[in-house]
Chain A
Amino acid sequence: MSAGDRRVRVHPGAPGPGPGAGVDRDPERAAVVVARIALVATVVVGQLWALTVALDAYFEEDMRVVWWLVGFEVVSFLVALGVWLMAPGER
């Protein structure tokens, strides 16, 4: 029997997760998911930075910079969306 998740306890005769629940059954797939999360999290941090700069530029009435940053935000979102969509079975 697999060691399993420490949170999972087996209660004979009771409903609930059985032995092995909560364990990465395919560690390589899990690693890919974690890599995708790291990638999207990095994109989101970049977007947060861009939003603060865009807000500052807006108040300085520098709309050229604001629109460039809107473009950056949209491209970043498309990257995040692409990372999410790249593995349809994993959503």
Chain B
Amino acid sequence: MVRASRGPSTDEAFERIRADAPVTRRDYLRILVTISGGLALGAFAVAAGVFPRRTGSAGAKKIADALAAGTSVTFAYPGPDDRAIAMRLPDGMLVAYSSICTHLSCAVLWEAPNEELVCPCHHGRFEASTGRVLGGPPPRPLPVIDLEERADGIYAVRARVV
């Protein structure tokens, strides 16, 4: 019986294909230059404002009739998706911040006993009276929401970075 001669095995065939068409050092150089151009375009995109900053004014928006010491209320300001939290601290100070963590945009929660805003995702901690970072990975303080206490309630008037 004549047996047909076998060609190279699959592994050998793949090995030969890889040897035939390797990614050359010149290809790596071209890829790196393309990445460099992409990063330059990315910087332009950042400067052009592709990322929402969640600051600015959307006019006065009533967020509550009143807030007792030690209580909080959540609301959206300046946009409908810009979550925020207002708190009356135990000393009577009224403060409000964006409740979107500056690390990876989880919602921060108020821990009244510690007077801290805490991000449960990566344990970022913010000071309740100023919004500044106390610990964890957040790179920036929480944007502050300016409030006005009027006769008929509490209004958010502006969101700003500090």
Binding site for B on A (CB under 8 A): 5, 7-9, 11, 14, 16-17, 21-22, 30, 33-34, 36-37, 40-41, 43-44, 47-48, 50-51, 54-56, 58-61, 63, 66-67, 69-70, 73-74, 76-77, 80-81, 83-84, 90-91
Contacts and interface: CB of A to CB of B under 8 A. Distances in A.
B21 to A, nearest CB: 10
B39 A73 contact: yes
B43 A33 contact: no
Contacts of B26: 33, 90-91
Interface of B: 7-8, 12, 15-16, 18-20, 22, 25-26, 28-30, 32-33, 35-37, 39-40, 42-44, 46-47, 49, 51, 53, 55, 102, 139-140, 161
A56 B40 CA distance: 16
B28 A37 contact: yes
11 contacts: A9-B12, A11-B8, A11-B16, A16-B19, A33-B25, A33-B29, A37-B25, A55-B46, A70-B43, A73-B40, A77-B37
Contacts of B20: 16-17
A51 B129 CA distance: 31
B27 to A, nearest CB: 10
B28 A50 contact: no
A63 B47 contact: yes
B47 A54 contact: yes
Nearest to B36: A80
A51 to B, nearest CB: 6
Nearest to B54: A59
Given A30-B25, A73-B40, A55 B16 contact: no
B8 A91 contact: no
A17 B37 CA distance: 35
Given A37-B25, A44-B32, A66-B47, 11 more contacts: A16-B19, A47-B39, A51-B46, A54-B46, A58-B49, A60-B161, A70-B40, A70-B43, A73-B42, A74-B43, A81-B36
Contacts of A91: 26, 29-30
Contact of A74 (B40, B53, B55, B102): B40
Contacts of B40: 47, 70, 73-74, 76-77
